[in-house]
Amino acid sequence: MRVTYLLSADPAPHAVAANRALVDEASLAAAAGHAVTLVGLTRPAPRTLAPGIAVVGLLDRADDCDVEGGVSTEPPSILVPPQWEDGFGAGADPALRQYLTRLDTDVLVTAGPGLVSAAARLAPETTTLVYQEHRLPSEADLDPVAMCAARIDLVLTTSPATFHWLRAALAGPAGGSTGMPVELVPDVAGELTAPYRPRSTLASPLIVAAGGPSRGASYTRLVAAFGQIAADLPDWRLRILDEGRSKGALLRPIRKWGLYDRVELPAAGDDLAAEWARGAFSVHVSPNAEVRRSIRGAMAAGLPAVAFDHPSGARHLIDHGVNGLLVSPDSVPGMASALHRLAVDADLRHRLGERALTVVEQYDAAAVLAARTHLYDRARSRQRATVSAGVVSTASVRPTRAVPDLTPQQARTLALTWAAGAAQSAAPESWFVVPPGLGDPATVVLPMEARPAFLDALGRPEAPVELSLVDPGEFDWPFRRGPVAELAAEIRRGRTPHLRLEPWPGGHEQPGVLAQGCAVAIEFWERSPQGDLVAARRNRFVQSVSPAESFVSYDVEGVTVRTLPLMTRPTVHECHFPIDVVYTWVDGGDPAWEASRAERLADLEGTAATRESSGRARFVSRDELRYSMRSVHLFAPWVRRIHLVTASQVPTWLVDHPKVRLVDHKEILPPEALPTFNSHAIEAALHKIPDLAEHWIYLNDDVFLGRPLSPETFFTPAGQPKVLLDESGVGDVGDPRAKPWLKAAWNNRELLADAVGAINILPLRHVPHPQRTCVVAELEARFPAEFLDTLRAPFRSDTDISVLASLAQHFGLATGQAVVGTAEDTFLDISTSGVLGVLRRLLDRQNDFFCLGDHHDHALPPDRLHTALEDFLADYFPLTAPWERT
């Protein structure tokens, strides 16, 4: 077979590692009798190259680059743009075009995403095109690969994690049957082909670390881990073989831990096999693909390996407790414990080392090469697959499961019940729950050593089908979601510290009610050498837990769980007081009410007679109240009671329920004010509702909660309401044609100037308005005449004040009884022509609140608008509340 390997010019570590893998494969292929050509922009000159390989350099870059002050000014390549693959300039384009268009080979293999795109456009159709993906999911931009998917005949990867991700991302909607073939094969282990490899005796007190360039603080963490145990192991040394890349950065932690004579940083050498043979065990902290090479090399010397768990291959080479030890990614305490464990237990080292030798057998050079060339032969004879150019990653693919009929609170309870049961089974004496708060979900914590048993228990056949398990895609893993049992089995071998258990978030097109705020987090904490559990990430309470710590029972999300006594105490960061909700509502379709409104309006003129004050649109019901109250049921279950203030009316769908109390206007307004059709008047009396909590939220029936919210969205822990200000401004007094709400804002301004010596300039947004009864009562005591005038106005008038939608909030801000808040909200004027598009966007559920403001004139025909709103509200709030008649 004639095989051509096209090397990248990208200097990034993953590209360098990919080139090295291609050179290894090329050497083995040439030795096996294949006609091999190795092609690079410059003439490749690897350290070792099998005889018989044709080497081609496409250009001498020194003759094609203008350099000023050491910086290349060569224009970027068009064939291989820098956002896809670095290292290619415009001078490479004619050379690539000339070579690829004239290429005469059976198989062209490359590992560069930009190069495969260029080859797909330029190489003859008779050439089988193979793309090898050596990057991690977090590094891989698949756009150039997806764009030429129909021309790529085979995709190879060596990492199971990357393989599963690529299958979903590139293999098409039929799970691979209609898309690009993606295959998993071992990588060619060129470092294992030497005829003689020395074995370690495992007796020397030396830890050898290597594995290519580290990311950030990986080797710094290793030094810190060694520093934690160095005093207990006075004879042991740490030898770091990092090709000089991290030496400067490592001097500081070495000094910090006093390890001058305990940590060795030798110059890089070619005989890594001899270095492994000197050690008692090996450590691998690099997150790039080179870590596979170093782990195999160490295992070939009979060394057990310790490594941070990582998708680049450590998990799939190291079987924890069988041939080495895996440590939770970047965990210093976990690494320290693993180092200490192997250093003090010689029997364990020998047992793991013997099993490590067997791992190398699967990388037999001849077998690996045969597997690859077999796939190349199949690709040559197979009809080229086609795939759409618009491929997306798994992180954006919505699950196809049906969304369960659960509220977010019920979903959290279900998830925590199942997770706590699995934790009790796996680690009955050491699991506990961190209660939710400050935006964090309830978190089930277990020791890392209990991870396999916990996943076994979590994935039992009776696992609730409503729940999904989520691997959140940290530490370079791809985001994954799946049925609990399936994903639990798939990730069982790893040591990643974070998972989520949550309901399926939505259907094919839109997220559902359970898309946010329904998760239970799961964390696996590593143990320190002293046996303490050390937090996988910072939390609000503790960073470590002693084995002697005692636990207590506590109710979290309606589930009795184990937790630390500290975590049961109230914090100053959360609201711990009862909160009510107050609605004002009238049935504008009630004939008796309408007759009363017409009679009251007959003798009035001026502002009260305008349609902004008394027009029918102000009282048209589109069943918004039902859905707004559903939003409270779904997204604010912590509300103590809902007070529905009406004019002796009852919604037809409302049944008696202890959480809902009907309040008649007669209970809170003076007799001379009735009947009233003025929302300003009603609002000025709401603080008189019997048994109203001190803290409450005023909601118009056209305002909705958009997703699960906490009390802290509305109040500070000290009880101050949070005010959401608009930026439009209320302008200056003077226009007699101004809308009634604006005139009320101007009246508020005068009262504020008298009360606090400051004025309001900004209105409030159309959102829920948190209130304090004492603040409104204080305002009424200060301005009794203005309150009484507003209460007695049957329709909005020029003398009204707007107490709950402006005055109380601004007064609170001026007197330290309120603060400015933040939230995501949308106001939709349903009279506009773009209403349908905004309704579709609202279904993305990215708003804390939204308001459907009505008007007297509409762009859409009434029937179409009514149907659109009815469908939207039913889609957004599909679950009935317990106070609805069914």
pLDDT at 244: 54
pLDDT tens, position by position, 503-533 = 998 765 679 999 999 999 999 999 999 999 9
* Banded pLDDT at 15 (limits 50, 70, 90): confident
350's enclosing H/E stretch is helix 346-360
pLDDT at 519: 96
pLDDT at 382: 67
The alpha carbon of residue 748 and the mean position of all alpha carbons in its chain are separated, in whole angstroms, by 44
Show the tokens assigned to 799: 């003398």
Give the CATH class of 191-362. Answer: alpha beta
CA-based Rg of the chain, rounded to a whole angstrom? 35
pLDDT at 862: 86
pLDDT at 469: 96
Handedness of CA 686, 689, 694, 695 (dihedral sign): negative
* Banded pLDDT at 66 (limits 50, 70, 90): very low
The percentage of residues in the chain with a pLDDT greater than 70, rounded to a whole number, is 87
> Could you tell me which of 339, 343, 345 has the C-alpha nearest to residue 228?
339
> Could you tell me which of 200, 469, 159 has the C-alpha nearest to residue 342?
200
* Banded pLDDT at 549 (limits 50, 70, 90): very high
* Banded pLDDT at 734 (limits 50, 70, 90): low
pLDDT at 475: 79
Whether the per-residue pLDDT at 666 is higher than 90: the answer is yes
pLDDT at 24: 85
> Could you tell me which of 137, 243, 183, 20 has the C-alpha nearest to residue 474?
137
Same fold, 2-181 and 579-876: no
pLDDT at 868: 93
Kindly state the average pLDDT of the residues 551-558: 97
pLDDT tens, position by position, 782-825 = 999 999 999 999 888 889 999 999 999 999 999 999 999 999 99
Would strands 2-6 and 35-40 be described as parallel, antiparallel, or unpaired?
A: parallel
- The chain-wide mean pLDDT, for the chain, equals 86
Higher pLDDT, 398 or 650: 650
Whether the per-residue pLDDT at 565 is higher than 90: the answer is yes
The percentage of residues in the chain with a pLDDT greater than 90, rounded to a whole number, is 57
* Banded pLDDT at 400 (limits 50, 70, 90): very low
- Cα dihedral angle (559, 560, 565, 566), rounded to 10 degrees? 0
pLDDT at 140: 65
Whether the per-residue pLDDT at 768 is higher than 80: the answer is yes
* Banded pLDDT at 761 (limits 50, 70, 90): confident
CA distance 378 to 1: 12
Classify domain 2-181 by CATH number: 3.40.50.2000
Q: In sequence order, which residues have a C-beta less than 8 Å from that of residue 94 and are 6 or more positions away?
A: none
Kindly state the average pLDDT of the residues 841-870: 89
Q: What length is written for the chain?
A: 886
Higher pLDDT, 608 or 779: 779
Whether the per-residue pLDDT at 615 is higher than 90: the answer is no
C-beta contacts of 483-486 below 8 A and 24+ residues apart: 484/418, 484/458, 484/459, 485/459, 485/460, 485/461, 486/459
CA distance 444 to 852: 39
Domain spans of the chain, in order of start: 2-181, 191-362, 398-568, 579-876
pLDDT tens, position by position, 738-755 = 777 778 888 999 999 989
pTM of the predicted model, to two decimals?
0.82
Whether the per-residue pLDDT at 67 is higher than 50: the answer is no
Higher pLDDT, 709 or 296: 709
Read off φ and ψ for residue 721, nearest 5 degrees. -65, 145
DSSP, collapsed to helix, strand or coil, labels residue 607 as helix
Whether the per-residue pLDDT at 178 is higher than 80: the answer is no
Which one is the CATH code of 579-876: 1.10.490, 1.10.357, 3.40.50, 3.90.550? 3.90.550
pLDDT tens, position by position, 107-144 = 999 998 889 999 998 999 889 999 998 877 666 677 78
CA distance 467 to 401: 10
